[in-house]
Amino acid sequence: MKEQREKGKREFGPLHRATFFLIAVLFAGSLLGLTIGVRQFAPPIFSVAEAVDVANSPDGWADENACVNCHEQAEQFDQTGHANTLVPASDADSLKLLAALAASEVGQNEQASVEVTDGNIMAVCETGGVVQRAEIDWCFGSGKHARTWVGTLPDSFGALDLLEMRWTWYRSTDSFDVTPGQPKTKGHGAVATLGTQFDAPRAWRCFSCHATRLPAENGRIETAHIAPGVTCQRCHGPRKRHVEAEGAFHDPHWQTSDRMDAVNLCAECHRRPEEQKPGDIHPDNPEIARFQPVGLSQSACFINSEMTCTTCHDPHKPMSAQDSLGKWQCVQCHDPEHASHTLCAAGRTDDCVSCHMPAIKQESPVSFTDHWIRVRDFSEQRP
């Protein structure tokens, strides 16, 4: 397992003095639509807390490197997307990508670049002759699909906001484009020029799905002590007692969980069906592909079997190290020996995924495998 990555020197990534003052004025004037009512919140309680007390159990956490000493499943885990879904912006791969922003098409069109000075990583963007700067602290996403950067800053109530940069790197194009959900045309001012500001509750939600431990003090995320990435103890719970007992202490959480518990653990971040607007769950909505448990739950294969996410995916291995093309997974049921299961009418014996679970293009330069397993009409989108 990778050693704990080096954190930034500052707990918060303040904006450049000139722009920081402007933001303070905007806060005071509620120009960004922030109100006291919005700020009165309690840190969210995650349903995974029965296994993992995300915020408040520092004494129960083991060194992540200890897992690999006994568990062979941990040998390749540091190569998975989950393990690398959050890294400091100062990570070597992160810096390499950021260096290419200025030369990208969107970087040139928007006069955007990144400067690194004395360990500080600054996003820079010019609009109408006015240069805005903001410090970048974290890189979200493993890079399998994309990577997006954020800056952190305290609000006037002491909680932590995020400034999501408006430029995301996409693997499909090996270049930058506008971050999903952000305006196609950049705005004006200290914030809108550089990206979109998320209030503290939304910042919590972002970090909670990209970190294993998220310590907080008085509702403010202690960024210097975040355990980045979704690693062993995010799913299996704090393991200090287990490690100290050399495995003698055993938590049967996974062995006693039913299939929906297992699916819902993944769906905490990949989205539960009930979190999707009912009217949005239909085959013609390409966004469903982004939220795998939503589509999976609509599938006859899921409804009429005992399958879970781990029926097809080994969470301990990178996707490149496992066969996820849907042959051996599908023929566990769709086999001539199982008379009650439909066989492929097209006579295909391999690559089931390309027809029944194709990659669906999104509005941004990225595609997601559609987990709504079904026989598709020819009119439906193909990869």
- At residue 335's C-alpha, the angle toward residues 334 and 336, to 5°, is 130
pLDDT in tens, 242-278: 999 988 887 766 666 788 888 999 999 999 999 988 8
CB contact set of 178 (below 8 Å; sequence gap of 6+): 106, 166, 167, 168, 184, 364
pLDDT at 323: 75
For residue 344, is pLDDT > 80? yes
From the number of C-beta atoms within 10 Å of its C-beta (0-12, 13-18, 19+), residue 6 rates as exposed
What torsion, rounded to 10 degrees, do the Cα atoms 189, 40, 216, 204 define? -60
CA atoms within 13 A on the CB side of 179: 21
Q: Tokens 């996003």 — which residue?
A: 123
Helix, strand and coil content of the chain, in percent to the nearest 5, comes to 30, 20, 50
DSSP string, 266-316: HHHHH--GGGS-GGG-STT-GGGGGSHHHHHHH-HHHHTS---HHHH--TT
What end-to-end distance do the CA atoms of the chain give, in Å? Answer: 35
Token pair of 248, please? 């003698």
pLDDT in tens, 3-39: 444 433 333 343 333 333 333 333 333 333 332 222 2
Token pair of 117, please? 């000075």
Q: How confident is the model at residue 333 (pLDDT cuts 50, 70, 90)?
A: confident
For residue 234, is pLDDT > 50? yes
Residues 108-139 as b/e (b if ≥16 CB within 10 A, e otherwise) read eebebbbeeeeebbbbbbebeeeebbbbbbbb
pLDDT at 343: 79
DSSP designation for 346 = T
pLDDT in tens, 167-217: 999 999 999 999 999 999 998 888 999 999 999 999 999 999 999 999 888
Largest Cα–Cα distance of the chain, in whole Å? 71
Q: What are the Cα distances from residue 368, in Å, to 82, 96, 371? A: 16, 25, 9
pLDDT at 53: 40
For residue 77, is pLDDT > 50? yes
Strands 359-361 and 367-369: antiparallel
What mean pLDDT do residues 273-301 have? Answer: 92
Let me know: does 3 contact 78? Beta carbons within 8 Å.
Answer: no
CA-based nearest residue to 147, from 108, 93, 200, 111: 93
CB contact set of 210 (below 8 Å; sequence gap of 6+): 85, 86, 140, 228, 229, 230
Helices and strands of the chain, counted as H and E runs: 13, 15
> SS3 of 127, please?
strand
Strands 146-154 and 160-170: antiparallel
